[in-house]
Amino acid sequence: MSTPRRLLARLRDLMARSGTGAGGTKAELPAVMRLVAAELVSEVCSLYVAHSGDILELTATEGLRAEAVGHTRLRVGEGIVGLAAATGLTQNLPDAQNHPAFAYRPETGEDLYASMLAVPVRRAGRTLGVLVVQNRAPRRYDGDEVEVVETVAMLLAELLTASGVAQTQQTGFDAALPRRFDAATLAPGLAVGPVVLHLGRAAPQRVIVDDPVGERVRLEAAWQQMQRGLDRLIRDHMPGPPERRVQDAGESREILEAYRLVAADTGWLRRVVEAIASGLSAEAAVARVASDLRDRMRRIADPYLRERLADLEDMAGRLLAHLDGGADSSPVPVGAILLARRLGPAELLDWHARGILGVVIEEGSPSGHAAILARALGIPALGGARGVVDSAEPGDEIVIDSEEEQVLLRPEQEVVQGYLRALETRSARQAGWAALRDQPCRTRDGTPVSLMLNVGLALELSQLANTGAAGIGLFRTEIAMLARGAVVDTAEQTAVYARVLDAAGGLPVVFRTLDLGGDKLLPGSPPPEEENPAMGWRSLRIGLDRPALLRRQLRALLLAAGGRKLSVMFPMVATVAEFRQARALLLAEAAKVRPGPAQLDIGTMLEIPALMWQLPALLEEVDFISVGTNDLLQFLFAADRSSPALAGRYDLLSPPMLDLLTELVVKAAPANVPVSVCGEAASRPLEAITLVALGITTLSMPASAILPIKALLAELDLPRFRAFLTSLRRTAAGVASLREPIATWAREHELPV
């Protein structure tokens, strides 16, 4: 019998003897510690159990001093044990005592032990404790050992919950207080309603079994059912009544099909089968493998890859549901808002069919599948709001507000009433905006402004008609590929780009070439280990180093245009030489494609400040420049755009940024090079009026901003604002931001900002 299987069998016997009462369980814990220590040939095995929210108490040990049991306590986040609890990640340290987080507790006698393996004991997303193994000799525990300890941790999670030794629910006064969480917009909107929690499925009842063959049969059956269920979901492409369906089923289907590829990956199934062979039940094996993958993927900083984690959990949940006899489709309370740590696309569709009106996904990112579908379905969705899932109880009232990027849990009644009024006003305002759709966009004094769309999916093309936008100012080609989960071949790319041009029906479209990191693109070659991936080997840099990939995309764009006008721009250009190289590739492809485009415009994004010192040469070569303020701000101020700690610290409305943009506009005008802005800043009211005042009259933005910005510009007296801005800038040298005075001016002039 293999080691884990033998250990699990002995643990099962032990637990069968102890029953599940708190007393029985506590009494057996030292024996469990002894067994694990013996199995791993470790000097120490200890269990710390969570109490009163954030205290971890040494509850059982083999190897540490017995008198420390019940006395040694660490806060969540304190020491290696606290770190494992806070992050939910296994800590495997050959030299724990020299780790910066190490917290020495003399009463335990642990100064003898160098290496430490600390595994969080988790259930339904909550940390119940930490299981720790220690050895005198410095060593890193190998994969098999980690797996054994993680499996025992899973078993302990069941035991602790069933016996009531661990507290899993928040209790006391704190739980009822209002809480506010910062969040990030995944899909715009506002919603107020009761909480429903997406906690994943309850942990399996049976963890260890005698009959691995029977379990495999159950697994196979559930796997088949899951595949059939997904086929149905994709066939129907959208559950629920027709008015709830997305406008363009094609793209949703693509997302779901990409997801199905993940679901059909039998590598995953094989690992589950192996876990069953080691003595686990089918449910426990699925949970085990999913948790293993989860931990690995959570260490990946890349938001796209982390999003695949949501697909994986979606699938694991689905498989567990089938093992359990079917998915829950009961309706949710009216107007419910879903809180999830992670959420996959199929899960979002299921919940949507059950009637949720909004969603918070703690680990969601805007390019995630669930976020893309939420936008398509028109469901307000926020990401971030760390801790909201743990703080909320089902039925709690909650507000999600994408404008303020905040989540308010159990808000005061006056706050709720305020939001309900805002919802009413908003629907009236939206009706007013809709009337603007077919009006030309101009300021009050008649200066025309071109408002274009930022999109990345065919699904969003219907927004051209919905918003009356002047065209597509930024088509992020990488998003469609991310949605498919792979770099697609030339023919498929051609079809996607042709659909975009067809939908635009002659309106201008600017395609941006792939703006991806290397790890997502180059199967077969390991991703580069980089300290700063945002400033690393990404985007055009990969395109120039791997020209076959870029050429394939350029060919697809040219083929898609076939006789129509084509505008292409390159991202992350740092030198004129890079632009020349990229343009040469495009022209070489263009020479081969027949029919060639009716007109070929080749431009650059301005995202890297170095280009500002190459303007004379650049302006001779480019047909247009589009300023990517998201990256330009990050590189100008050396401030990571994705760091919540830096959000709002550096401002587009600041002297250096405004001076940079002014210089660009002034130098580009005599060269006849159009300048536009396609970063998120263009969609914000104060930034939009300021950009127009600087002379940038083409702004590209997400669909939700087009009509509000159009309404705002219609009220703007541009000459007066420009005069104000000019004098403000004259007196503002050295200030961090001009936001306040600009906002005051806007309010005094009754602009809807």
**Which residues have CB under 8 Å from 166's CB, separation 6+?**
49, 50, 121, 128, 129, 160
In terms of CB distance, is 149 or 606 closer to Mg ion?
606
As measured in angstroms, the least distance from the Cβ of 508 to ligand PEP is: 17
In terms of CB distance, is 401 or 607 closer to ligand PEP?
607
As measured in angstroms, the least distance from the Cβ of 632 to Mg ion is: 8
If you count DSSP H runs as helices and E runs as strands, how many of each does the chain have, helices first? Answer: 26, 21
In terms of CB distance, is 471 or 628 closer to Mg ion?
628
Give the other-Cβ count within 10 Å of 55's Cβ.
Answer: 15
Q: Report the DSSP beta bridge partners of residue 74.
A: 56
Buried/exposed 476-486: b ≥16 CB within 10 Å, e otherwise: bbbbbbbbbbe
As measured in angstroms, the least distance from the Cβ of 676 to ligand PEP is: 11
Rounded CA separation 9/211 (Å): 12
Concatenated DSSP letters of 320-356: HHHHTTS---PPPPTT-EEEESS--HHHHHHHHHTT-
As measured in angstroms, the least distance from the Cβ of 675 to ligand PEP is: 14
Tokens (6 digits) for 320: 């567990």
Binding site partner of 407, from Mg ion, ligand PEP, none, Cβ cut-off 5-8 A by kind? none
As measured in angstroms, the least distance from the Cβ of 678 to ligand PEP is: 5
As measured in angstroms, the least distance from the Cβ of 640 to ligand PEP is: 13
**Which residues have CB under 8 Å from 381's CB, separation 6+?**
185, 186, 187, 189, 358, 359, 360, 361, 364, 370, 371, 374, 375, 400, 402
Q: Report the DSSP beta bridge partners of residue 198.
A: 340
Binding site partner of 129, from Mg ion, ligand PEP, none, Cβ cut-off 5-8 A by kind? none
As measured in angstroms, the least distance from the Cβ of 473 to ligand PEP is: 9
As measured in angstroms, the least distance from the Cβ of 629 to Mg ion is: 9
Residue nearest to Mg ion (CB): 631
| Residues acting as catalytic residues | 369, 678
In terms of CB distance, is 383 or 679 closer to ligand PEP?
679
Rounded CA separation 568/600 (Å): 8
List residues binding ligand PEP (CB under 6 A).
Answer: 474, 476, 515, 607, 628-631, 678-679
Binding site partner of 366, from Mg ion, ligand PEP, none, Cβ cut-off 5-8 A by kind? none
Length reported for the chain: 753
Exposure of 584 in the CB half-sphere (CA atoms within 13 A): 8
Concatenated DSSP letters of 694-730: HT--EEEE-HHHHHHHHHHHHT--HHHHHHHHHHHHH
Give the other-Cβ count within 10 Å of 30's Cβ.
Answer: 17
In terms of CB distance, is 227 or 630 closer to ligand PEP?
630
Using DSSP's 3-state secondary structure scheme, residue 470 falls into: coil
Binding site partner of 383, from Mg ion, ligand PEP, none, Cβ cut-off 5-8 A by kind? none
Residue nearest to ligand PEP (CB): 628
* Residues 256 and 346 sit within 8 Å (Cβ to Cβ): yes
Using DSSP's 3-state secondary structure scheme, residue 596 falls into: coil
Give the other-Cβ count within 10 Å of 224's Cβ.
Answer: 11
Helices 22-40, 143-163: crossing angle, 10 deg rounding: 170
Binding site partner of 280, from Mg ion, ligand PEP, none, Cβ cut-off 5-8 A by kind? none
What is the sign of the dihedral through the CA atoms of 349, 352, 357 and 358? negative
What is the x/- site pattern for Mg ion, positions 619-658, by CB under 5 A?
---------x--x---------------------------
Binding site partner of 629, from Mg ion, ligand PEP, none, Cβ cut-off 5-8 A by kind? ligand PEP
In terms of CB distance, is 90 or 690 closer to ligand PEP?
690
Residue (of 672, 692, 670, 673) closest to 681 by Cα position: 692
Structure letter (DSSP) for residue 167: -
Residues in 551-610 that interact with Mg ion by CB under 5 A: 607
**Which residues have CB under 8 Å from 608's CB, separation 6+?**
572, 573, 574, 631, 632, 635
Look at the block and give the residue holding tokens 């969601």. 364
Rounded CA separation 379/373 (Å): 9
Residue (of 390, 593, 576, 417) closest to 494 by Cα position: 593
Going through 53-154 in order, the beta strands assigned E by DSSP cover: 55-62, 73-75, 91-93, 115-123, 126-135
As measured in angstroms, the least distance from the Cβ of 535 to ligand PEP is: 13
Tokens (6 digits) for 17: 């003897």
As measured in angstroms, the least distance from the Cβ of 112 to ligand PEP is: 51
Binding site partner of 476, from Mg ion, ligand PEP, none, Cβ cut-off 5-8 A by kind? ligand PEP
Positions that interact with Mg ion (CB under 5 A): 607, 628, 631
